[in-house]
Amino acid sequence: MYQILLLFMSESQDNPNCGNCLECRYDCCFSNRNCGDSHIFGILTPDELHSLMDNKRQIHFRSGETIMKQNTPLTHLVCIKNGLAKVVSEGPKGKNLILQIIKSNSIFTGGGAIVDDFRHFTVAAITDIDCCFIDTSRLYNLLTKNSTFSIELLKHSNDQHMKMLGTLINLTNKYMPGRVADTLLYLKNSVFETNPYNFVLSKQELADMSGMTKESFIRSLKEFEDSGLIRQTRNAIEILKENELIEISRNG
């Protein structure tokens, strides 16, 4: 525990948003201002929050590092404070599928929380990331005590479930151009929220998000470029005709 605190303190030095006082530490992952998923924690009383955060570990990951690994025991949930991560399902024969890009202020467990307590996918850092690890046992304790909190988590779970259903439908009943369009629109509207957007993602990763090989992705992307739907530069993509992309997505 001492080491953990030290780790936390050293990490926080180069991050002005996160001081060392207790209050600040809670704030790091759980403030309910401008926080994606973390309003889930907004409903907790200070005591409850404390019981969760008591032994939280704040950890820094470098771009590319694995944050949690598929098939390992699910002992902690993770809150991302800043940075981007990818949620990857590692299939047989090295075939990976990127299910989601996680942004700042999101929480995730890796799948089977409460069910089998194993992680059903891998999460890896795309950029450098600050996140905290929180004991799931603390979480489970809280669930029995605060039903509003349980409901919020249920909502979060159902939400993720429906998003995955959307992914499933996109990937299974669309041809490649539709899937590429989906990926581009997802990145613009749900991840980066700018246009053009710089991407830290390799073509292989974009292909893994679209359920195809990188070669196929590149070709499809090139056709979009030739048709004037998008523009690619070194490490950015600009969507020029969003409506047409939406149409392509819709027609599958």
Partner DNA sequence: CATTTTAATTGACATTTGTCAATTAAATCA
Partner DNA sequence: TGATTTAATTGACAAATGTCAATTAAAATG
Task: Using CB under 7 A, list all residues that contact DNA.
Answer: 175-177, 202-204, 211-216, 218-219, 221-222, 232, 234-235
Residues that bind a copy of itself in the complex, under the rule CB under 8 A? 89, 91-93, 95, 97, 99, 111-116, 120-121, 143-148, 150-151, 153-155, 157-162, 164-165, 167-169, 171-173, 211, 250-252
Tokens of 209: 């998000």
CB 195 within 8 A of CB 204: no
Residue 161 interacting entry, from a copy of itself, DNA, none, C-beta within 5 to 8 Å by type:
a copy of itself
Kindly tell me which of 6 and 162 has the beta carbon lying closer to a copy of itself: 162
Q: Quick one: tokens of 208?
A: 């893994």
- In the list DNA, a copy of itself, none, the entry touching 177 (Cβ below 5 to 8 angstroms by class) is DNA
Both tokens assigned to 40: 């889930």
User: Measured from the CB atom, is 8 or 121 closer to a copy of itself?
Assistant: 121
Q: Quote the least distance from Cβ 176 to DNA, whole Å.
A: 3
| Smallest distance, a copy of itself to C-beta of residue 172, A | 5
Least gap, CB of 34 to DNA (angstroms): 31
CB of 161 to a copy of itself, least distance (A): 5
Least distance in angstroms from the C-beta of 103 to DNA? 21
In the bound state with DNA, the residue whose beta carbon lies nearer, of 39 and 214, is 214
Q: Binds 202, which of a copy of itself, DNA, none (CB < 5 to 8 A, cut-off by type)?
A: DNA
Q: Which is nearer to DNA, 214 or 241 (CB)?
A: 214
Residue 114, number of CB atoms within 10 A of its CB: 13
